[in-house]
Every structure is written in structure tokens, then in C-alpha cells.
Amino acid sequence: MLEKLDKVFDPEKVIEEFEYLTKDAKRIQTETLRRILKENGEAEYLKKWGLNGKTDPESYSCCVPLVTHKDLEPLIQQIADGAPNPILTSKPITTITLSSGTTQGKRKFVPFNDELTETTMQIYRTSFAFRNREYPIGNGKALSFIYGSKQFKTKGGLLAGTATTNVYRSEQFKKTMKDMQTPCCSPDEVIFGPDFQQSLYCHLLSGLIFHNEIQVISSTFAHSIVHSFRTFELVWEELCSDIKTGSLSTRITVPTIRTAMAKILKPNPELADKIHEKCLRLSNWYGLIEELFPNVKYIYGIMTGSMEPYLKKLRHYAGGIPLLSADYGSSEGWIGANVNPTRPPEMATFAVLPHIGYFEFIPLREIGVASQEHSVCNERRPVGLTDVEVGEEYEVVVTNFAGLYRYRLGDVVKVAGFHNATPELQFVCRRNLMPTINIDKNTEKDLQLSVEAAAKLLADEKLEVVDFTSQVDLSSEPGHYMIYWEVSGEASEETLKKCCNCLDSAFVDAGYVSSRKIHAIGPLELRVLKRGTFQKILDHYVGLGSTLNQFKTPRCVGPVNHTVLQILCNNVVKSYISTAFD
Ligand code: AMP
């Protein structure tokens, strides 16, 4: 086991133990499965599948079926409603995690327990140990854009909140951040404040107050860092004025936040003038972060997958500060740590920790007969952690200590290599995010690449895509893709027309291209949105109780996501139809 939290934190020791565990990954996986099944032998769910005390991987995969969240939903609901019997775990579940629901539009309930907090800390500490070898930090603070969303009680009296909230509220989190010499510079009242706009403003203010001590700028997902500095562009003069006078802006109305900030905010006209001067000197805010925080060593957060589109902007703000991509996990539990911190974020991989769960992988390379019209896809049997092949793509299947057994996470990963005997995974995309119109199989990644290609055309006009999403419109025949863009300024008609054609022709999926050629899929539509539309979408999700920490712009909005569709439709200012396949 990795060292326990109550011991003194020694990064080299953490690495040593990680090496030991990953060298013996196969045995550790078998042992982890044995522990999970033994600990939960009394759970009705496991009893139902007739394991009869068997804990070996073969019996497990023979007896227990693969499931999705939908299959488990009624059971998790019973737990949330306070059922007294052991349903998924032997020990009662006392906390429920709410997934962000931002990828697919629906929030999910997931069981949570202390084991998951513990594994989260192990992931944090492992990647920190490797990071610290390359980018050592001294004693200091972190400007962490983190938020504790509201927690509430379920019908059965269980505490429910987002995974990040459950973690940030834990004592272990504080201890780990202290061990890593990066305690958060903002007061707790800011992190756990009831209004995220006010918290965000105070995070920025706290960062500026402690600017010399800030060693790391971080958030769970990189979107939040970009969003914070976009906000900085709007409120910087107000922040300077607060620092100059030592009195907090009237926009902060939450009494607990005001009291907490009053303790750290003192008049400092010199600092205010310095910040003011720096901001005026910057060209289009390039290098803002390194200007404001002279001792920052790196910027840290998840930058892969749906976060990649924000990297360009983040690099712009960062100037020369390195960007380090964080680990891979979900509300259902963590999976892997980034142990190669020097790789550029686009190349980040995640070494699976073999003792934090039992992992299986469904190979996604198709087998079976591929005919002209239909490619017959027979899903293949999952393989074990150490049996995956380099270069292959898989869907991740998780068995954890909190009652998920052979649970399909819905993420697609690619095996980039191995660290000892454990695979290093590259995140590819969510599975089945884009619905099919004809025989097309576009993925979230294809969409991202197409947007990237078309956005290059905006660069000539010094404009950028602030954010994007898509919709598949089947209301008329043939169906077609609609891509929504928020652009940083007014682009010319000519350029937007070109962007629209480029979006359409940049999709490389053979099914899409051939369907477009024979007009079985209609011309792609580019819809340009009013500035601020994605802020409205974010506000909508936060209003539903989601947290900014875990926010991911939904890349394809489904037909049942009425509110988001409504926001999009109400804010379209221009629309273009592709002529790429005319
Ligand atoms: P949630 O539990 O709703 O906050 O979202 C978890 C999901 O975020 C995962 O299933 C992935 O799809 C995505 N995710 C988590 N970590 C990463 C990562 N390092 N790179 C890309 N996507 C990630």
C-alpha cells in the first residue's frame, strides 16, 4: 500500500512504493479484487450473482455482468432513500456523489465512501511526488480555483454533494495540500461560499494579496483557470481598487466571505499601483499569469480531453510558465496519475494505480464482418489491466471500494505504453457522445479536431473561438450537424463562411464523408452565438447544483437537454450553411 496519510509525507518513498506496486500490477489487481469482494461479501448485489465466496478474476467476470449507471440507478436510489439492508456494499454508504452531469446533461448519483477520499489522496500524492522531482517547490501557497458546492441530505438522510466537494471538505485534503506545500491561499469561506461569482472574485483577490507566495495556480479542470482569468480581464480595476483602499468591493455580499476577506485585505497602494501598471503594459493579456505571480512554478489542472480546446488561451495567459496536466478520474473514482509531468498536456498519460480499484478494458477495435452498408460490431470481451495492448483503444470498466462492480465508465482511452507492468493511458473521449445520423461515427475528438482546424481561419482576424458545442438535428430530412461557436469578436462574413465549410470538410470519419457525398447527411450548419452565451450555460449548470470545479462544456447537446438548447437557440446571431459538398 502507498504510505498512509498519518505518516510523514516523503515524496521519494511514495515513488518507491508506486514502483513496487506497478511492477507487480497483475498480482496487486487480483489482490485488490479479492479485498473488494471480501469486504463486500454481504452486499445483496454480489450475493445475487452467485459468487459464493469466490474472489478470483475469472469467476468474477463469469458471474458478475458489465453494467452502466442506468442499470444501477434503482439500487443507488434505494440507498439514497435510506434502505437499511446492505445493497451494494457491506458497510453502509453514508455519502452520495453527484456527477457534474455536464458531459451528458444528466446528473448521476454515485455511492461515495472514505476509501474513495483515500484513493484520491493517493493519486494526488503520487503525481505530486513525480512532479516535484522535475519542478520542485518550496514553502508557499497555491491559488486554487476550487469551489465547494452545496451539500444536501437525500430522502434517507445521506449527505450528497459533488465528488470534489466531498473531497475538499475532508480533513485528508487539507493535510495533503499542506504536505505538498501548496495550501490554498483563499480562506475556506471563499472556497465554500454560496455564490461562485463572489468566490471567484475573492480567489483572484486572495491570489493577488499573496502574489509573492503563490507557487502553483490550479483547478480541477483547466477550463476553470481560463474562465477565472477571463473574469480577471473584466474586474481587474476593481481588484486593484480593493487592494489600494483595503476595503472589499460591494459586489461581495456574503457576510462570511466579507469577514474572512477582511482578515487578509489591508490597504496596499503600492501593490495596487504595481498590478495596475503591469496590466496596462500587457499586450492582449499575454503572459498575465507570470506577470502577476512572479514565483509561480507551474499551472496545474486536467488539460486533456474536453479541456484541450482551452490550452491555447491558457498558454497565452501563462506566458513562459509550464502547464502540467493533472490526473485521470471521475466521480466514480480515480484511475491514473500523470507520472510524466514534463510531457506537453496534449501528450499526457495516466499510469493506472493497480491497488485503488480493479480495472478492466473493453477493446474497441471492431471485429466481425464489415459490409458496405453496415459494419457489424461485436463487442469484445474485456481484458485485464495488464493484458491491454499498446496502441489499442478501450472503454474503461471500474470495480471500486464503494459498490461499483464492472461499471462501464463510458470513457475511451488509448494505451500509450507501460510504466513497469501497469498501462499508461491517454484519454481519447467520451464514448457515444455524438449520435449517428446515417453511418457516421464521429466522436467528440473528431468534433474537437474539426473546430481546431476551422478556428485557425479566425486567427487572421486576431479572433478566437471562446467555446463551442454541437447538436445533431434530425427534425428535417436528411439530418445534419449544427455547430455552435462563441467568437471573441466580430468576424467577417467571408471568414465565417470559410469556417463553416472547413468544419464540414474537416471531419475525417469515412461514414460521415461518404454520407455527405451522397447527401444522406445534410450540409453542416455553423451557428454563431452572442458573447456570453457559454457563461449562461455555465450559470445554468451551477444553478442546478453542479460545481465550477467539474464543469465541462457539453460538446454535443442531446434533444432532452431542453434548457441548454433553449439558451443556444435564443442566442444565435448568425448562421451559415456549408457548401463544402455541393
Ligand atoms: P465528473 O465525474 O462528472 O466530474 O466527470 C468525470 C469525467 O471527466 C471522466 O469520466 C472523463 O470523461 C473526464 N475526465 C476526468 N479526468 C480526465 C482527464 N485527465 N482527461 C480527460 N478527461 C477527463
Is the Cβ atom of 109 under 6 angstroms away from ligand 1? Answer: no
pTM of the complete model: 0.93
**Residue 543 per-residue DSSP state:** H
Cα atoms in the 13 Å half-sphere on the side-chain side of 276: 14
Q: Which of 123, 325, 328, 553 to mutate to test the pocket of ligand 1 (most atoms within 8 A of CB)?
A: 328
| Distance from the alpha carbon of residue 329 to the mean position of ligand 1, in angstroms | 6
| Distance from the alpha carbon of residue 382 to the mean position of ligand 1, in angstroms | 21
| Distance from the alpha carbon of residue 228 to the mean position of ligand 1, in angstroms | 20
The pLDDT tens digits of the residues spanning 125-137 come to 999 999 999 999 9
- Cite the beta strand spans of 104-261 per DSSP E: 109-112, 141-144, 152-153, 159-162, 214-221
Mean pLDDT for back-to-back runs of 10 residues, the chain (582 residues): 56 96 98 97 95 95 96 96 94 87 72 91 95 93 91 91 85 85 92 94 98 96 96 98 98 98 98 98 97 97 96 97 97 95 97 98 74 52 97 97 96 97 96 88 94 95 95 94 97 97 96 96 98 95 81 90 95 98 94
pLDDT at residue 173 in the model: 86
pLDDT at residue 466 in the model: 96
Q: CA of 22: how far to CAs of 57, 115, 206, 356, 419, in Å?
A: 18, 20, 40, 12, 7
CB atoms within 10 A of CB 300: 27
Across-strand partners of 425?
350, 415
| Distance from the alpha carbon of residue 171 to the mean position of ligand 1, in angstroms | 24
Mode of pairing for the β-strands spanning 298-302 and 323-325: parallel
| Rounded Cα–Cα distance for residues 480 and 527 (Å) | 13
pLDDT at residue 89 in the model: 96
pLDDT at residue 378 in the model: 62
164 CA: nearest ligand 1 atom = 4
Grouping H, G, I as helix, E, B as strand and the rest as coil, residue 384 is strand
- How distant is the alpha carbon of residue 55 from its chain centre? 33
Grouping H, G, I as helix, E, B as strand and the rest as coil, residue 485 is strand
C-alpha cell at 130: 513525480
Residues with Cβ within 8 Å of residue 235, at least 6 apart in sequence: 201, 204
List the residue whose alpha carbon is closest to atom 8 of ligand 1.
330
pLDDT at residue 268 in the model: 98
| Rounded Cα–Cα distance for residues 432 and 172 (Å) | 36
Is the Cβ atom of 100 under 6 angstroms away from ligand 1? Answer: yes
Is the Cβ atom of 331 under 6 angstroms away from ligand 1? Answer: yes
| Rounded Cα–Cα distance for residues 9 and 14 (Å) | 8
pLDDT at residue 527 in the model: 98
Q: CA of 410: how far to CAs of 70, 127, 237, 341, 527, in Å?
A: 12, 24, 44, 26, 29
Is the Cβ atom of 328 under 6 angstroms away from ligand 1? Answer: yes
| Rounded Cα–Cα distance for residues 220 and 237 (Å) | 27
Is the Cβ atom of 167 under 6 angstroms away from ligand 1? Answer: no
C-alpha cell at 417: 505504453
| Distance from the alpha carbon of residue 331 to the mean position of ligand 1, in angstroms | 8
327 CA: nearest ligand 1 atom = 19
List the residue whose alpha carbon is closest to atom 20 of ligand 1.
304
Residues with Cβ within 8 Å of residue 155, at least 6 apart in sequence: 80, 81, 82
pLDDT at residue 434 in the model: 84
Residues constituting the chain: 582
